[in-house]
Chain A
Amino acid sequence: MKSVAMLLVLLCCSCFSFQTKWERVEASRFTAPDGSMRVELPEGWALSGTLLTRDGTSLQWISFQRASEELAKMRADLEDELARSEEVSNASCAQVTIGGRPATEIRLEAPPRPPYFLFDFPDDGWFGDEASNTYLMYWITDGDREFLLAYCAPTLYYFERDLPAFEHLVASFEPLPPRSPDARLPR
């Protein structure tokens, strides 16, 4: 059974690419590279693909992407796990609307975790004293497509400080029409 921690690690892996070439955000209006959506980015942050950070990804990140089938399934898994997990605190799951579209909002607090399913990482001691992170995610449904807007930062100080940047991005979210039948699902 997947734990919330592992789901969060998978979420992070789906948001990050190993090669990170950052560009400073100058113009706020931005069309995603796959043409699936348009959002307003926080000026002064750094952008790599569809990943944003102000200070570095180990401190905070925002991801905006068309959700793959795996990510859409992860939402369902997270909802199930949140109902019974003891690994997270301050967790909530709610149905909301974003720009008139139905969305699932998941907010939870969890300690940072290494990808211990990739290596034989220790699951005690490694990150035990590090600040907990708060995750805020919106899975937005638009017809047969699903989009994920996600934000993560240390709960202490940083989450609230940088939340307005994420809220602005969410408020500006605008799905674009599919360009072709082949573009219906991301590869």
Chain B
Amino acid sequence: MSARFPGAAVVVALIGWTAGCVTHRPSYRGPWIHRSFYEEPRRELPATVVVVPSLAKAWTLHEQGSQSTYEYDPQASVERARRLDALLASTAERAPMRLQPLPDLDADEVATLDAHLGLFRSVAKAAAGAGKHYGTPSFKLREFDYTLGPGLAWLRERSGADAALCVFEVGFDRTGEVFFGLVDLCSGDLLWLEESGYFSAEDDDNSEARMIEQMWNVYPGLDAFAAVREAS
């Protein structure tokens, strides 16, 4: 049974708008970069990144007469995640680092990875609050030190990669909000986080591809974020 969610976008927009009214300050939209890139000894950008399966949650619009509702759509969620994975794979040569696929994992490793992707979702939500003047303290822009902990260190051994690219998307019909995060596989530190949104017109199937390309275009954005954190 699918759950109905009328006016979800309105609720989300209202929360964001009200938070803005409360603070009277503009909202920062990313990217967010770990403080260790700005403090001595400065960390280096990861050279090799393993791409872990994307996580997506999709709601589909259903119109019934004058009423429209969003319904959680498990199948659309799976399809969105697969589409993101395929796009990341197909655009890998344009990424500013070497992207590699996930090695074959056993059941225990898959469970551990899934648990950390769940944690990534929680961490990314808090981390992307930095600069939005709501549930996250503003000094986290300057002191951006989010982490997943060391529980994925084994994946470094298994993949040989420095970091993992974690992705989750929340989508309503033809819109999507996507979080891309680079996670250091030794420490679990969230090195880099980007929040992107897109809207697909009826005749446009390339909006997600453009979003990914735009993400790599702004990566890593060290100077731009330096200015933001200095001003915070």
Partners in one complex: yes
Q: Is B48 an interface residue (CB 8 A)?
A: no
Q: Is A41 an interface residue (CB 8 A)?
A: no
Chain B residues whose CB sits within 8 angstroms of the CB of A20 once the complex forms: 134-135
Bound Cα distance from A74 to B130, whole angstroms? 32
Chain A residues whose CB sits within 8 angstroms of the CB of B118 once the complex forms: 129-132, 156
B139 touches A112 (CB 8 A): no
Supposing A120-B6, A123-B3 touch, asked if A130 and B72 sit within 8 A by C-beta, the answer is: no
Q: Is B126 an interface residue (CB 8 A)?
A: yes
Supposing A18-B22, A55-B126 touch, asked if A122 and B115 sit within 8 A by C-beta, the answer is: no
B137's partner among A18, A56, A124, A132 (CB-CB below 8 A) is: A56
| Contacts across chains A and B counted by CB atoms under 8 Å | 106
Of B96-104, B145-153, B206-214, the one contacting chain A is B145-153
Bound Cα distance from A178 to B124, whole angstroms? 42
Q: Is B217 an interface residue (CB 8 A)?
A: no
Chain B residues whose CB sits within 8 angstroms of the CB of A65 once the complex forms: none
Question: How many B residues, CB 8 Å from partner?
Answer: 43
Bound Cα distance from A36 to B180, whole angstroms? 44
Q: Is B140 an interface residue (CB 8 A)?
A: yes
Bound Cα distance from A56 to B124, whole angstroms? 11
Bound Cα distance from A55 to B139, whole angstroms? 9
Chain B 116-148, CB within 8 Å of chain A: the 1/0 string?
Answer: 111101110111011000111111100000111
A22's partner among B74, B123, B138 (CB-CB below 8 A) is: B138
Q: Is A117 an interface residue (CB 8 A)?
A: no
B122 touches A59 (CB 8 A): yes
Chain B residues whose CB sits within 8 angstroms of the CB of A161 once the complex forms: 149
Chain A, 1-54, CB within 8 A of any chain B CB = 18-20, 22, 24, 46, 53
Chain B residues whose CB sits within 8 angstroms of the CB of A19 once the complex forms: 22
A46 touches B139 (CB 8 A): yes
Q: Is B5 an interface residue (CB 8 A)?
A: yes
Min distance, Cβ A21 to any Cβ of chain B, angstroms: 8
Q: Is B57 an interface residue (CB 8 A)?
A: yes
Closest residue of chain A to B72, judged by CB?
A125
Closest residue of chain A to B74, judged by CB?
A125
Chain B residues whose CB sits within 8 angstroms of the CB of A126 once the complex forms: 3, 57, 72
Bound Cα distance from A59 to B127, whole angstroms? 9
Min distance, Cβ B185 to any Cβ of chain A, angstroms: 14
| Residue of A19, A53, A119, A125 with most partner-chain B CB within 10 A | A125
Chain B residues whose CB sits within 8 angstroms of the CB of A22 once the complex forms: 137-139
Bound Cα distance from A154 to B141, whole angstroms? 21
Q: Is B4 an interface residue (CB 8 A)?
A: yes
Q: Is B11 an interface residue (CB 8 A)?
A: yes
B123's partner among A46, A59, A121 (CB-CB below 8 A) is: A59
